[in-house]
Amino acid sequence: MHVARVVAALAALTGGVFAQAQQTNHLELKIDSSNRTLTVSAESRVTAEPEIAILHIGFETQPMDAKAAYAAGAKLSNQIVSAIKQAGVEDSAIRSESQTLAPVDWRTRKFKLEQQWVVKVQPSRAAEILDLAIAAGASDSGNIEWTVNDEKALEDQAIEKAAARAMSDAAVLAKGMGVKLGNLIYTTNRTASELPALGYAEANFAGGLYRKQNAAPPLAIEPHKVSRSASVYAVYAIE
């Protein structure tokens, strides 16, 4: 799927002098009788099925004194990581994101311990692993990012499609204007991720005993497709 926009600049086809400035990314191109050009820009988007689900899993303890909060947090921390590993997730796929022992109220000297991990799994196992973590005590969990193994390759595909579209549009435009398309003078591109492709599925729970007390099946989570878009700007000479 693509959206293309074509802008053409033709100057001094009858020998007169015509001055004009084209600007993109702070580049100014002067068009006059000695510099006859045609400019096109095109956009394209590619999508792919996700190959990796990045789970954000964490917990926070109830307010208590610092020593008790740390002890309770340490117990939960080991329970959660143990449950994830027992499910077959490799150590290299589990990374600590943050851990904080923070005061809740200085007057009562109450603290809570918070910890977060990033866990990478196959998209088909996202709901299962999230469910196991929550059953083990994770109470601040559920954000999921969807991505592919080679994001650069996906970006390259988007650029290639946009570039091919720009070349095709330039050829069609030149033919329609009755001129001959010359050499490429200048080109630039820009790529971008799209939020729906790297969106989040959320499942935050107030208590880590949700699964133990409620024998419910895991959440129904449907992965988002991964998308990358690219735009290409090109300037051609006119012969």
Tokens of 119: 């866990």
Q: What is the predicted pLDDT for the residue at 194?
A: 61
pTM: 0.71
Q: What is the predicted pLDDT for the residue at 39?
A: 93
Q: What is the predicted pLDDT for the residue at 91?
A: 95
Are 2-46+150-193+229-238 and 52-147 in the same CATH fold? no
CATH 3.30.110 corresponds to the domain 2-46+150-193+229-238: yes
* Residue whose C-alpha is closest to residue 179's, from 4, 11, 2, 6: 11
Cα 41 from chain centroid?
Answer: 24
- For residue 153, CA distances in Å to 46, 138, 163, 235 come to 11, 35, 15, 26
The ranges assigned to domains in the chain are 2-46+150-193+229-238, 52-147
Q: What is the predicted pLDDT for the residue at 30?
A: 55
CATH 3.30.70.100 corresponds to the domain 52-147: no
Amino acid making up residue 118 = V
CA 128/CA 225 separation, integer angstroms: 19
Average pLDDT across each block of 10 residues of the chain; the chain has 239 residues. List them in order: 38 32 44 75 95 96 95 96 97 95 90 96 95 93 92 95 95 93 92 54 41 64 91 93
